[in-house]
Structure 1
Amino acid sequence: MSSQDETIFIVFSDDWGEHPSSCQHLFKCIGSRYRTLWINTVGLRTPKLSRTDIDKAIHKIRRMFTRKITPCSSKKLPDELTVVQPFMLPFQNVRYVRHLNKISVRRAIQRFIHTQQIYKYIVTLVTAPNGCDYVGLFDENKIVYYCVDDFSEWPGHDKRLILEMEDALISKSDLFFATADTLFTKLKKYGKPVFSFSHGVDVELFSNLPGRNHHWLDNIPRPIVGYFGLFDDRSDQKLLADTAKNHPDVSFVITGNVVTDVTLLEKEPNVYFTGPVPYQSLPAIVAGWDICMLPYKMNALTESINPLKLKEYIATGKPVISTPLPEVVSLSQWIHIHSGQDEWRKAITQILSGKELTGNCEERRQFIHEHSWENKALFMLDKIFEQIG
């Protein structure tokens, strides 16, 4: 039996099954080979007395007490992966709440570890700063901080608290994986191993668009410029509204959860909100688009993001237009990168007329296959086991 076969992974991340995060993609691969305990944790933001937050809280509490976990796709959970939902409270700015959460999480992990008859190494991987309270409790061989965003810049978050938590997590971690250059640069100064680790892509899913569009697009006139994913304060609504006004003959479709005020966009008759669809249905949505778009604002909030949908868009072979996010600029071979409504207006006109092409098809296929989630998972495993020795 190899040292890898004797390894247990403990993962602190988002709720398994709620949405297809990068960590879930990775552990669909890793969790099919290595025993993994996935801990659904509470969010970083203190909830408010809003309908959305109340609904989320009720859903979370139900999962804590029913222990029912639903995979985020039609596929079953990976064979070696176990998901638990310990009882936890979200008010992390209260010291006693954090202490209570720590006790609850420790008991859940101890129960799991005691069921494992053979293991030699424990590796803990964390994707958010609030994981700082739970690492180092089980004599782990390695603690990994998989840094996917600068959460301190997110609206509604307690910046001081999050930076304090992240400092604690960084001090306890042995190595880092960073999804953006700004995050890599920040972590590099701590003198520990840090690896640049951009997001991957489900090659099979997004490289094979179905022959028929999703039925939700049936009554939306072509051509269509589309966006899928969470639509929030990072989205540049003014850019999108102005672009829609400049192209009254083009439909602009947003598919996904909307968690910000979109009154500005709802005024435009050629902007459509379909709501979210299951992850496996996204290719059918994209099949009906003529252009994929990434209309993000350019500010401190977006400087560190690496949109998960970026390589998914590229894999479809559809033209992609984006604002100049740092992580998008590095892939300019495959993306039409433009700032402001005038540039977007001209670019959309040229793309729809067939006058602008991006990248060689064979080179694109090779690029996407190199960045599959399977290859990303193998890279992560190699670097972790190198550190274990």
Structure 2
Amino acid sequence: MKEHALNKEAVLMKETAIMREAAFMKELIVFGEDYNRHPSSSQHTVNTLQHQFASIQWVNSIGLRKPSPSPRDLARIREKLRNALTAPPRRDDLPPPFPVIHPLVWPLAEHPLLRWFNQLSVRRQLARKRHLRVVWAALPSAVDYLDALQADVVIYYCGDDFSGLAGVDHLRVKQMEEHMAQRADLILCASPALVEKMGRLSPQKTHLLRHGVDFHRFAAPQPDPYPPAPSPTQGRYKIGFYGSLNQWLDQTLLCELAAARPEVDFHLIGRRDCDTPLLDACDNIKFHPPVPHQHLAQYVQHWDAAILPFVDNAQIRACDPLKLREYLAAGCPVISSNFPAARQYPCLVSVATSQQDWLDAIDAFCHLSQQHRLQYRKTARQHMVNESWEMRGEAVLILINNILEEKQTCLPEFSII
């Protein structure tokens, strides 16, 4: 009897191992932004899922705008050609943990021949399909590739209101997004506004997935990268922002704040994606080149306050900036323009609705006592510790498994290795 029980247990263990091995035979293809160009929410989320799939392949941005002859677009085309034809230049960022491909495609192609060329360009660089194929599409334009790639499960990750993006062919993108909503098995939205928008197209498939934060990276104490002040009385206050300098940045507001507070230096870290004539004229606005993501914490932790000085438009009202939670995880006080995502943390984020509100908040945070600054840091980090990307990845995996169970298969339980 004992021997029979042992044999039965061994058979059960073998069957379980076979089932788990079969469950693991899934592959993931990601259509996202250029990997490591801006660490995106898709990049953070997929990184937490890398041990849940037999393989992951990342397709760098296939675009949402038809290129123009502008200097900025021409430079982007040169960058795309260089990455597609040669090994991309080494960066200080961590290397991708999976293959990244750089397809040559014509964005938003409408002619059948161009669409065929685009599909061929992507398909020829991807490994041959071996398992059930899950596609994570962070761009609605990825809908043109789903059939060519034999997608079994489609996840549409809606992280932006693409109808509000400058320079985008809004009608074409709207059509693609409607098609994607029909084709997707699961729609994940980064904000309630996007849930409302996509819910009108496909309510049963649509779920809220707020952004997370690399908590331990931003909370771990970092050395001060700024030169020491000649004396305690000669140090200047530091207000900071990082991210691309684009049309959604309120340049007029920043110039007014800089003029009103000449004793404060406003540090802007990031690539200039638009002209900044107003900011260039302000002596106490300091520009810095982009900083690798893993080094940003050492700057934020040594600012007197971090800012989100955005204009009021549809894109901002629908966004949930990654940097908001990173600022808070770093323990840095935050001042923001008035938009929904900034109102998530009323005790931590000072939402300013006028220039005087901005100046009052800047004065308050620049003159925080050491005791109050430490208390703010402790409270902010307590809020952020439960908003990690790992927790977001676990939520995504549960939703994926719900879809896969309907297809008579599932992924293994979530694990971080």
Query: Structure 2 length normalisation: TM-score?
Result: 0.84
Q: How far has the Cα of 1:349 moved from its partner? A: 1.1
In the superposition, relative to structure 1, how do residues 24 and 72 fare at CA in structure 2: closer, same or farther (>3 Å)? farther
Counterpart pick for 1:83 among 74, 79, 100: 100
In the superposition, relative to structure 1, how do residues 174 and 91 fare at CA in structure 2: closer, same or farther (>3 Å)? closer
Q: Secondary structure at the match of 1:59?
A: helix
Match of 1:177 in 2: 188
Aligned residues with identical type, % of pairs: 28
Q: State whether structure 2 residue 179 is matched by structure 1 residue 168.
A: yes
Q: State whether structure 2 residue 111 is matched by structure 1 residue 107.
A: no
Structure with larger Rg:
2
Q: How far has the Cα of 1:70 moved from its partner? A: 6.4
Q: How far has the Cα of 1:357 moved from its partner? A: 7.0
Match of 1:316 in 2: 330
Counterpart pick for 1:187 among 165, 185, 198: 198
Q: How far has the Cα of 1:312 moved from its partner? A: 0.3
In the superposition, relative to structure 1, how do residues 176 and 183 fare at CA in structure 2: closer, same or farther (>3 Å)? same
Match of 1:131 in 2: 142
Match of 1:145 in 2: 156
Match of 1:96 in 2: 113
Q: Deviations over 1:178-206 (max 9, x none)?
A: 00111011122313322211111111211
Question: Contact (CA 8 Å) 2:308, 2:337: kept in 1 or not?
Answer: yes
Q: State whether structure 2 residue 219 is matched by structure 1 residue 207.
A: yes
CA distance in 1, matches of 2:242, 2:102: 28
Larger mean CA deviation between 358-367 and 308-317 belongs to 358-367
In the superposition, relative to structure 1, how do residues 69 and 33 fare at CA in structure 2: closer, same or farther (>3 Å)? farther
Q: State whether structure 2 residue 34 is matched by structure 1 residue 26.
A: no
Amino acid at match of 1:113: R
Amino acid at match of 1:167: E
Match of 1:230 in 2: 244
Question: Contact (CA 8 Å) 1:93, 1:161: kept in 2 or not?
Answer: no
Amino acid at match of 2:294: Q
CA distance in 1, matches of 2:382, 2:128: 41
In the superposition, relative to structure 1, how do residues 216 and 131 fare at CA in structure 2: closer, same or farther (>3 Å)? farther
Amino acid at match of 2:99: T
Q: State whether structure 2 residue 210 is matched by structure 1 residue 198.
A: yes
Question: Contact (CA 8 Å) 1:18, 1:72: kept in 2 or not?
Answer: no
Q: Secondary structure at the match of 1:176?
A: strand
In the superposition, relative to structure 1, how do residues 211 and 236 fare at CA in structure 2: closer, same or farther (>3 Å)? same
Q: How far has the Cα of 1:137 moved from its partner? A: 3.5
Q: How far has the Cα of 1:130 moved from its partner? A: 0.7
Q: Deviations over 1:215-265 (max 9, x none)?
A: 6999x9620110001110001111111111111111111100111121112
Question: Contact (CA 8 Å) 2:239, 2:267: kept in 1 or not?
Answer: yes
Unmatched runs of 5 consecutive residues or more in structure 1: none
In the superposition, relative to structure 1, how do residues 306 and 44 fare at CA in structure 2: closer, same or farther (>3 Å)? same
1:339-354 aligned at under 5 Å gives the runs: 339-354=353-368
Q: Deviations over 1:2-33 (max 9, x none)?
A: 25411111111112232211111112221244
CA distance in 2, matches of 1:82, 1:240: 41
Match of 1:384 in 2: 400
CA distance in 1, matches of 2:353, 2:374: 17
Q: State whether structure 2 residue 158 is matched by structure 1 residue 158.
A: no
Unmatched runs of 5 consecutive residues or more in structure 2: 1-17, 406-417
CA distance in 2, matches of 1:148, 1:276: 22
Q: RMSD of aligned C-alpha atoms? A: 2.4
In the superposition, relative to structure 1, how do residues 369 and 288 fare at CA in structure 2: closer, same or farther (>3 Å)? closer
Q: How far has the Cα of 1:372 moved from its partner? A: 0.9
CA distance in 1, matches of 2:266, 2:388: 29
